[in-house]
A and B are shown apart, each in its own frame.
Chain A
Amino acid sequence: MSGPVLAFIEHAGGEPDRLSLEALAFARSLVTKLGAALEAVVLGSGVEGVAGQLGAHGVGAAHVATDARLDDFAPAAWGAAIRTIVAARAPAAVVVAGSERGNEVLAHVAARLGLPMAANVIEVTPGNSWRLVRQRWAGSLLEDAALDAPIRLLSVAPHAVAAAPTAATSVPTISTFAPELEPADLVARVVRREPKASAGVSLADAKVVVGGGRGVGSAAGFANLEALAKELGGAVGGSRVVTSLGWRPHSDQIGQTGLRIAPDLYIACGISGAIQHIVGCKAAKRILAINTDPDSPIMAVADYAVIGDLGAVVPAITAEIERRRAPA
Chain B
Amino acid sequence: MNILVCVKRVPQTGGRIVLTADGQAIDTKFLGHTISPHEECGVEEAVQIVEKEGGSSAVLTLGPAEAEEQLRDAMAIGIDRAILLETTGGEWDPVSTAGAIAETVEAQEAAHGHFDLLFFGNEAADTGDYQIGVRVAVALGRPVINGIKDIWFTDDRHAVLARREAPGGGWETYELPLPVVLGVKEGLNLPRYPSVPGRLRAKKKEVERVALGSSPSGALGLGAGEDSAGLGGAVPGPTKLLLRLPQEERSAAEVIGRGAEAAPAVVDMLERIGVLAR
- A residues contacting B by CB (< 8 A) are 10, 12, 17, 72-73, 75-76, 99-101, 103-104, 106-108, 110-112, 114-120, 129, 131-132, 134-150, 155, 184, 187-197, 202, 204-205, 207-208, 232, 243-244, 246, 249-251, 253, 256-258, 264-265, 274-276, 285-289, 294, 299-309, 312-313, 315-317, 319-321, 324
A64 to chain B, nearest CB (A): 20
B13 to chain A, nearest CB (A): 6
Hey, which chain A residues are within 8 Å of B274, CB to CB? 264
Number of residue pairs A-B, CB distance < 8 angstroms: 300
Question: Given the known A-B contacts A140-B13, A142-B246, A299-B252, are A205 and B175 also in contact in the complex, defined by CB atoms under 8 Å?
Answer: no
8 Å CB contacts to A: which residues of B77-132? Answer: 93-95, 98, 122-123, 125-131
| B32: Cβ under 8 A from any A Cβ | no
B259 with A313: CB separation less than 8 A: yes
Task: Name A325's closest neighbour in chain B (CB-CB).
Answer: B278
- A12 contacts which chain B residues (CB < 8 A)? 167-168
Q: Are A321 and B128 in contact (CB under 8 A)?
A: no
Among A111, A114, A191, A312, chain B packs the most CB atoms within 10 A around the CB of A111
Given contacts A304-B254, A320-B263, whether A232 and B238 have CB atoms under 8 Å apart is no
Residues of A within 8 A of B137 (CB): 111
Cβ contact within 8 Å between B254 and A313: no
Q: How far is the CB of B116 from chain A (nearest CB, A)?
A: 15
Q: Does any Cβ of A come within 8 Å of B165's Cβ?
A: yes
How many Å from the CB of A163 to the closest CB on chain B? 16
- Whole-angstrom distance between the alpha carbons of A299 and B251 in the complex? 9
Knowing A155-B130, A321-B276, the reply to whether A146 touches B262 (Cβ < 8 A) is: no
> Cα distance A190–B94 when bound, in Å?
28
Residue numbers in B under 8 Å from A118 (CB-CB): 237-238
User: How many angstroms from the CA of A31 to the CA of B237 in the assembled complex?
Assistant: 22
Given A146-B237, A149-B237, are A136 and B130 neighbors across the interface (CB < 8 Å)? no
Instruction: Name 9 extra pairs, CB < 8 A, besides A110-B131, A306-B258.
Output: A117-B238, A142-B244, A148-B222, A184-B143, A193-B172, A202-B168, A251-B165, A304-B253, A306-B259
Given A116-B94, A316-B263, also A193-B166 (CB < 8 A): yes
Q: Do B263 and A317 touch across chains, with their CB atoms under 8 A apart?
A: yes
**Of all chain B residues, which has the CB nearest A199?**
B169
A107-B134, A232-B275, A313-B262 known; A116 and B246 CB under 8 Å? Answer: no
Among the listed stretches B57-65, B183-191, B197-205, which one makes contact with chain A, having 4 or more residues with CB under 8 Å of it? B183-191
Q: A155-B130, A257-B38, A301-B250 are in contact. Are A148 and B237 (CB under 8 A)?
A: yes
B207 on interface, CB distance cutoff 8 Å = no
What bracket does the count of chain B residues touching chain A fall in? 35 or more
1/0 contact trace for B230-245 toward A, CB 8 Å? 0111111111111111
Tell me the minimal C-beta distance from A44 to chain B in angstroms. Answer: 13
Assess whether B30 is interfacial by the CB under 8 Å rule.
no
B213 within 8 A of A: no
B182-231 contacts to A, CB under 8 A, are 183, 185-187, 190, 220-224, 231
Determine the residue in chain A with the shortest Cβ distance to B231.
A114
Q: Given B145, B165, B177, B246, which contacts A139 in the complex, CB threshold below 8 Å?
A: B246
B258-278: contact bitstring with A at CB < 8 Å (1 yes, 0 no)?
Answer: 111111101101100111101
**Complex Cα spacing A76 to B174, Å:** 13
Pair A232/B270 contact, Cβ less than 8 Å: yes
Pick from B1-9, B14-22, B47-55 the stretch touching chain A.
Answer: B14-22
Chain A residue nearest to B36 (CB atoms) is A257
Contact present for B144 and A250 (CB under 8 Å): no
Indicate if the CB atoms of A189 and B94 lie closer than 8 Å. Answer: no
Q: Which residue of A lies closest to B135 (CB)?
A: A111
Query: Nearest 4 A-B pairs (CB), nearest first?
Result: A250-B187, A196-B169, A116-B237, A103-B130
Q: How far is the CB of B227 from chain A (nearest CB, A)?
A: 14
Q: Is the CB of B258 within 8 A of A308?
A: yes
Output the least CB separation between B231 and chain A (Å).
8
Chain B minimum-CB-distance residue to A243 = B187
Collect the chain B residues with CB atoms within 8 Å of residue A289's CB.
Answer: 253
Q: What are 8 A-B pairs at a CB distance below 8 A?
A: A110-B131, A116-B235, A145-B239, A146-B221, A155-B130, A202-B169, A257-B38, A304-B266
Q: In the complex, are the beta carbons of B253 and A299 less than 8 A apart?
A: yes
Interchain CB contact under 8 A, B145 and A75: yes
Least distance between A128 CB and chain B CB atoms (Å)? 9
Chain B residues with CB below 8 A from A129, complex form: 221, 223
CB contacts (< 8 Å) of A147 on chain B: these are: 237-239
